[in-house]
A and B are shown apart, each in its own frame.
Chain A
Amino acid sequence: MERDNRMDDKLDELRDSPAPEEGQDPAGGRAKRDGSASRDLYLNVRVLVGMMAVFVLLFTFVARVIVVSGPSMESTLWERDLIFVWALGYQPKQGDIVVLTQEHYQEDSIIKRVIATGGQRVDIDYNTGTVYVDGQALQEDYINEPMRLPGWGEGVNHVEVPEGCIFVMGDNRNHSADSRHPDIGIVDTRCVIGRGLAVLFPFNHWQGL
C-alpha cells in the first residue's frame, strides 16, 4: 500500500515535468548511461531486421538470385549455377534467358531461352535440326548439340505465337522440356518471373547472359 502511494507520488512528479521530444529517452542521462548496452543492442537488432525486410522486398519486386537445377540449359548454364535475375518492369525479348513458372507442369520455376515473342511464327525442322522464326533459320551457337526428335514426338513445332505469349526452349535441346512439350506449350508472359542477367557463382562460370 505504501509502495502504491510512493508510486503515485512518482507518477505525479513525472507528470509535472515537461515532456521529452520524440527520439529522446525520457529517462534522461542516468538511464542513458545504464541503458546504453540495451540501446546499442536494440539499434543493432533494428538494423538487422530492417535489412532482412529490405532484402526480401527487393527479391520480391526488383531482382533475385536463383540456383539452376537440371541440365536443360547446358552448355550455357550448369547444375547449381547461381544466377542473377532481374524482374522489375521486364518484358521478354527474343534471345533472352528467362525464369518462368508453368504451374500446371511443375510448381518450381524453370529457366529457358526465348525463341519467339508474340506475333512471330515458329517452325521446327527435326530433319535438319533447325528452328525457323518468321521463316528465317536461327543461328544458334549456344545449343549444346544438334537437335533430335524428342521422346514425346513432334509436339508443338509449327505455331504462331499469340500476343502476350512467348515460345521458349532450353539450350540443351535433347534434354529439355520446353514449349515443344505438349504440357508446357506457349507461355504467357505473365508467367515470366524475370530475365537471367549473369552467372554469379561458381566464379569460373561467371558470365553475362
Chain B
Amino acid sequence: MKSRIILFFLSLFIWLLLCWPVDGEHLLIGVLVAGLVAFMTGDMFVKRPHHFLNPLRYLWFLYYLPVFLWECLKANIDVARRVIHPDLPINPGIVKVKTSLKSDTALTFLANSITLTPGTMSVDIIPEEGVLYIHWIDVKDKDIEKATEIIVRKFEKIISKIFE
C-alpha cells in the first residue's frame, strides 16, 4: 500500500511538470491517470518503502550530485583530449572489479556512475557474486583489488549510504 502511494505521488509530480502552468483540467486528468497507474503496477515499484521516509538519505543524495557532476565534467575533458591528440593515446582492456552492494537500485546507480566517469564503462554485472566487468580506456592495473580501489571505492561509500 505504501508503495502505491509513493508511485501515485511520483507520477502525479512528473505529469504536473510536463504540463507546467497547472490548471484544474490538467490536475483532474493527472489524478485519474496516476491513480490508475498506481492501482495497476504499484505493488512492484519499491520493496522497502520505509527508506523513503529517512531524511538522511536525501542529504547524502544532495552530496552525491555535485561529486557526480564534477567527475562527469572531468571525464568529458579527458575524452576530448584523447580524441584530438594526433597519436590516439589509448590503452584499452576489460578488467574485473568486485563490489559489496546487493540491491538492484544500488547496482544500477553504481553502473551508471561508472559509465559516466573518466575512462570507464560497465559491460556486464553478475549480481550474485558482486562482480562487474569494466571496459577501461587506459588500463593502469590488471589486478582485481587495485582496480577496485581505483574505480569503485569513491562511489561505493556514498551509494551504499543512499540506497542500501
Are A and B a genuine interacting pair, yes or no? no
**What is the interface of chain A, defined by CB distance below 8 A to chain B?**
none
**What is the interface of chain B, defined by CB distance below 8 A to chain A?**
none
